[in-house]
A and B are shown apart, each in its own frame.
Chain A
């Protein structure tokens, strides 16, 4: 059974940092692109970042470029999102997903507030 479990969310002050993790199981992790998508409270889905199977290609939405970094550890079947210089508008539930879009985790809430 494919499972994606996010962790690492929480309350952080503006300008702070958080590192989200996504533990993958039930499939051959290094065969898939992986993605992060977020959803602000009461708002729609927003794509955040994609990473290729070997980590050689990474893409970001403009609003997080230079602040967020997507990475992966294929040996540990894990996906990460390092979020620096966080802003109030980054407050959202963050979902990790398989690049084929068919499996998503249940999300982890990030709240940026003083």
Chain B
């Protein structure tokens, strides 16, 4: 099973700041990584698939990069609605498909 490790666990930032979230895979997963955003009481929402492709309707301030074992989700300038928990997920080796434990982006 592929383990995804996200860091940091919590990121304390202000609106307008740049956010950089990390996801590291326990083995090579090529570019088979996605990112999801989850707000309290809501289901996750797909932001990025295949490491760097924005999903439909996702603002350009969200970008993904990386391949192999190290991946990054960047938010160029945080909007108030971006404060949430972010999860990475791999679809390279199964079963099972696995998720990271999440990074919470909170308002400083």
Q: Do A and B come from one complex?
A: no
Point out residues on A near B: beta carbons under 8 Å. none
